[in-house]
Amino acid sequence: METIIDQYEKIVDYEYIHNLYEISKPLCHKSIVHINSTIYGGGVAEILNDLIIIMNELGIKTEWHQIKGSIEFFQTTKKLHNTLQGEETELTDHEKRVYLDNNRKNSIYNHVEDTDCVIIHDPQPLSLIQFYEKRQPWIWRCHIDISNKFNPTWKFLKNFIHRYDGIVVSMEKYKQKLNLPQYIINPSINPFNNKNRMLNQTEIESLLNDFNIPNNKPIISQISRFDKWKDPLGVIRAFKIIKKEFDCRLVLLGNMAQDDPEGFEIYNKILQYVKDDPDINIITAENSLLVNALQRVSKVVIQKSLREGFGLTVTEALWKGTPVIGGDVGGIPLQIIDGETGYLVNNIEECANRVLKLLKNPNLAEDMGKKGKEYVKEHFLMLRHLEDYVKILKKYVINYKI
């Protein structure tokens, strides 16, 4: 049976794959556990779904655990997430107790005592570390843009962060003043899974029909969780400007992540704002093939985020040869070369103008799309991501001393 790593032989040099196996040998039969808060919805789950498989293909015994939580817990962790991205709202003492008590319970469900390394993703399970007798290295993988964090929240979380052996962030500006080693790993995509594999025209048309998306005029789209930081209302406002000059359709495709209780509220706001506009399709679905088809059929993909740790949907769209208009925030500028693979924008008017430019200049859009695909191939595929992890894990797992 063909493995994911076998599939990469179609697009990368054999020498690169051989080297990856070689550098991974010291980790063979070592056990790693990743812990996050959801099995679907959002880039973290998307990455882990494939990363875990490839790590095991290399011989690294890797598991993926999810913490459980009450509605109140996830309301609290969403607040944590928002304040780490700059929202100035303090956690109450009650919310702190909810957060700690829930992670205490999860420490009972999650047995990590015999593993060689624990990797915790984002703030939801961060405090787990204080409920174990630490016998191995613990690494905190923060996927959030914490460059503009709210200090009271950070002060609270530092009670747990200082217990870790290292921190991984997505870019240089996210590093913090801490007495801990800090590393950079850019997120990545698996080009062979359902979200990114090649689709033929029949498959694309069938998926659009299944979700009642007319293809009778050019489509622009934004694909992301229903989250205020993704600025879906701003995208709709930009679309209304675009429509005055160019007849097209907007599709907003999103999902409700398990750990994001604000999703339904944002979704309902969007529906109320759009009302019955026949040229705007709002779809809530967890369907990787639909994402794939929509990114391929769109003339332009938008990711007009106000805050963004990385924004993996940008890389996904670029891989399909589709130019992307993205907010000039967080990790998006790592992916979009402004004026070459898409455009970076700072407001609604800029967004509308850049979309119009690409809609009116299809040759420019096609050229940008080709450059975008090559850029992803060089920088944002999962084998590179895996290599980054292997290099870090070797520093911690081999000859670790408590």
Residue 155: pLDDT over 80: yes
Instruction: Single out the residue of 61, 200, 227 nearest to residue 144, CA to CA.
Output: 227
* 201-379 is a CATH 3.30.390.50 domain: no
What confidence tier does 291 reach under pLDDT thresholds 50, 70, 90? very high
Residue 257: pLDDT over 70: no
- SS3 state of residue 223: strand
What confidence tier does 148 reach under pLDDT thresholds 50, 70, 90? very high
Which run of H or E residues covers position 61?
strand 61-66
Q: Which residues of 157-172 are buried (b: 16+ CB within 10 A; e: fewer)?
A: beebbebbbbbbbbbe
- Do residues 209 and 24 lie in contact, with contact meaning Cβ atoms separated by under 8 Å? no
- SS3 state of residue 112: coil
The reply to whether domains 4-188+381-397 and 201-379 share a CATH topology is yes
Residue type present at position 137: P
Residue 168: pLDDT over 90: yes
Packed helices 232-243 and 263-274: angle between N→C axes, nearest 10 degrees? 20
| Predicted pLDDT of residue 35 | 97
Structure confidence by residue, pLDDT tens digits, 236-249: 999 999 999 999 99
Return d(Cα 142, Cα 174) in angstroms, integer.
9
Domain positions in the chain: 4-188+381-397, 201-379
Torsion angles phi and psi, residue 196, rounded to 5: -125, -10
> What tokens were used for 73?
């817990």
What confidence tier does 361 reach under pLDDT thresholds 50, 70, 90? very high
| Predicted pLDDT of residue 258 | 60
Residue 402: pLDDT over 70: no
Residue 400: pLDDT over 90: no
| Predicted pLDDT of residue 137 | 97
Residue 259: pLDDT over 70: no
Question: How is domain 4-188+381-397 classified at the architecture level of CATH?
Answer: 3-Layer(aba) Sandwich (3.40)
- Do residues 334 and 113 lie in contact, with contact meaning Cβ atoms separated by under 8 Å? no
Segments of 154-308 assigned E as strands: 166-169, 182-184, 219-223, 249-254, 280-284, 300-303
- DSSP state, 90? P
Return d(Cα 65, Cα 85) in angstroms, integer.
25
Task: List Cα–Cα distances, 185 to 137, 160, 167, in angstroms.
Answer: 18, 22, 10
Sheet with 182-184, side-by-side order of all strands: 61-66, 31-36, 117-121, 138-141, 166-169, 182-184
